[in-house]
Every structure is written in structure tokens, then in C-alpha cells.
Amino acid sequence: MPPRRKTLSIAMIAMNEEANLPRTLESVNWADEIIVVDSGSRDRTIEIAQSFGAKTSYHAFGGHGEQKNVALDLCTSDWTLLLDADEVLTPELQQEIRNLLAGEPKFDAYWIPRLNLYFGKWIRHGGFYPDHKLRLFKRGAARLSEGVGPHSTPQFAGRRGKMRGDMLHYAYPTMGIYLEHMNRYSSEIAQLLHNRGKDSRSFPAFLWNAVLNPAATFLYNYIFRLGFLDGREGLILHINHSVYIHWKYIKAWRLGQGKQ
């Protein structure tokens, strides 16, 4: 007797994602269940999600890890795919996941390679690809850390497999969106650094964190990890990524001084 096909839930969080959501949900409309946890959208996010058959609910935003854990807890299928509203599964990855769940998966959790779009170009160098993310796992096998800022990732202690198909991340199509996200993310991380006493109060710590570390990161990613092969978009990305590192430590330092 062939093995029973494993069912799949899609777990997502959303806030004002009407521009991205149709493209994302179209790539997973074959899943057995779609869960969308909204944190107060003022656009058509809920309407669009429900038009794809998604189960929607509201939860006040308390952090990325907490919000995604709420979505995971609502999933009822055998397996869960954690997906952001600006991520899309390529046809190759869709079929690969179907084939995996039709048999007996060797692992309980899988890394998925992510290809990021910045300023209209798919970035393939400089440490930004394959950008593996742990997103596919047995229900209940993984959970996100809470209170660690916007880049919380699922925690899983066992052996992990790797998928081959790409997940496309329509991250920052414009410079304005990129700067808004980096400003918001750097503020969140600065608060965490301050709470942990890592606000660069000594001058050597300030010099390293806010000046030398961003410069070293640019040199490493752009030169040694071949970021220059992504052309002008790669140059813009790596300059601004280093500026983002500078921002978060400057903001933490200001918080240490009792400033906003």
C-alpha cells in the first residue's frame, strides 16, 4: 500500500499586504489549508486572503516571532510551510514539496533556498543567495523565538533536509520601501541591543560596532563574496546594508544616552 499523502498548511502573517498577497497565495492555492493572521490591515488584505479560501484571524502585533507562532498554532495539517506575504514558491519548488509529502519525508524539517529581489534585480551573490530559510516542517516540530526582533527564525533541534527549488522573495522593489523597512528594523534591533546592555557606551565598542563593523561587512560581502557581480544594484544593496548596520548601533548608543 502506498504511503498516505501528508497534508500541508500554509502559515502566514500579514499587515496591509494587498499588493503582494494575490501573487503569494496563487503559488500555494493547492495547499490543504491557508492560515493568515492579520494585525489590523486597513486595505483589502483580509478580503483577498478569504477569496483564496484562507482562514483569517486577528492578533495584535506583539513581535514577529510571537505573531508567527500564533499562525503556527492555528494550523491543523500534517506539515506546515511558514511563508511571508512577499514570498512566492516557484513551480519547481511547488512540485518538489508535493512529491516530498506524497512519500515518506526523510527529515522532519527542511531548508528552502530563497532568491531575493532588490531594486528590480535578483541578487545571486554577496551572501544573499541561496539565503536558506527553515520554513517547511512537521506540525509542531519547530517554533520561533520571541522577543528577538524582526529576523526571528524557526527553532528545530533535529537533522534538517534541503529543498532545491527556490522561494522568490519580492523584498524591496523600490528604494523607498527598502529604507522604510531598514529604518523600522534597525529601531527594533537597537531596542533589543539596549535592553541587553549592548549599546556601545565605551568608545572602542562604539568605534567597532558603528564604524568598523559596517565597513568590514561591506568589504567582505561586496569583494570576497562577489557581491560586485550583481552590478549597480549589488553595489547599492551592499552600501545600504552596511548603513543599516551603522543605524542599529547608532540608535542603540542613543538609547543608552537616554535619547530617542
Contact 234, 122 (CB under 8 A): no
Q: Are residues 122 and 220 in the same domain?
A: no
Q: What percent of the chain has pLDDT over 90?
A: 82
Distance CA 13, CA 64 (A): 9
Q: Are residues 59 and 116 in the same domain?
A: yes
Q: Where residue 1 falls among pLDDT bands split at 50, 70, 90? A: low
pLDDT for residue 138? 97
| pLDDT surpasses 80 at 172 | yes
| pLDDT surpasses 90 at 171 | no
| pLDDT surpasses 80 at 204 | yes
Q: Are residues 116 and 241 in the same domain?
A: no
Q: Decide if 243 is inside a domain.
A: yes
Distance CA 228, CA 31 (A): 39
> Looking at this protein, which amino acid is placed at residue 103?
G
Contact 179, 237 (CB under 8 A): no
| pLDDT surpasses 70 at 17 | yes
- The helix (H) or strand (E) run that includes residue 170 is strand 167-172
User: What is the value of pTM for the model shown?
Assistant: 0.91
Cell numbers given for 230: 550583481
pLDDT for residue 2? 67
Q: Are residues 187 and 151 in the same domain?
A: no
Q: Are residues 95 and 83 in the same domain?
A: yes
Q: Decide if 184 is inside a domain.
A: yes
Kindly compute the dihedral angle of the four CA atoms of residues 243, 214, 118, 121, in this order, to the nearest 10 degrees: 130
Mean pLDDT of 140-148: 87
Q: Are residues 129 and 55 in the same domain?
A: yes
| pLDDT surpasses 70 at 9 | yes
Higher pLDDT, 178 or 89: 89
Write down the mean pLDDT value for the chain: 94
CATH code, domain with 19:
3.90.550.10
| pLDDT surpasses 80 at 190 | yes
Q: Decide if 159 is inside a domain.
A: yes
Q: Decide if 2 is inside a domain.
A: no
Q: Are residues 53 and 114 in the same domain?
A: yes
Mean pLDDT of 48-53: 98
DSSP string, 71-135: HHHH--SSEEEE--TTEEE-HHHHHHHHHHHHS--SSSEEEE-EEEEETTEEE-STT-SS--EEE
| pLDDT surpasses 80 at 148 | no
Rg (the chain; Cα; Å): 20
Q: Where residue 129 falls among pLDDT bands split at 50, 70, 90? A: very high
pLDDT for residue 221? 98
- The residue range of the domain holding 193 is 175-256
- Please give the tally of structural domains in the chain: 2
Domain boundary among 172, 198, 227: 172
Measured CA to CA in angstroms, residue 58 lies from 43, 47, 68 at distances of 14, 13, 12
| pLDDT surpasses 80 at 149 | no
Domain boundary among 156, 172, 188: 172
Q: Are residues 251 and 155 in the same domain?
A: no
| pLDDT surpasses 90 at 201 | no
Q: Are residues 191 and 130 in the same domain?
A: no
Q: Are residues 87 and 56 in the same domain?
A: yes
Contact 12, 83 (CB under 8 A): yes
Q: Decide if 1 is inside a domain.
A: no
pLDDT digit string, tens, across residues 106-124 = 999 999 999 999 989 999 9
Q: Are residues 44 and 160 in the same domain?
A: yes
Q: Decide if 3 is inside a domain.
A: no
Q: Decide if 118 is inside a domain.
A: yes
| pLDDT surpasses 70 at 257 | yes
Q: Decide if 55 is inside a domain.
A: yes
Domain boundary among 145, 172, 199: 172
pLDDT for residue 111? 98
Mean pLDDT of 77-94: 98
Q: Are residues 29 and 124 in the same domain?
A: yes
List of E strands, the chain: 8-14, 33-38, 55-58, 79-82, 87-89, 109-112, 114-118, 121-123, 133-138, 143-144, 154-155, 161-162, 167-172
Higher pLDDT, 3 or 91: 91
pLDDT for residue 214? 97
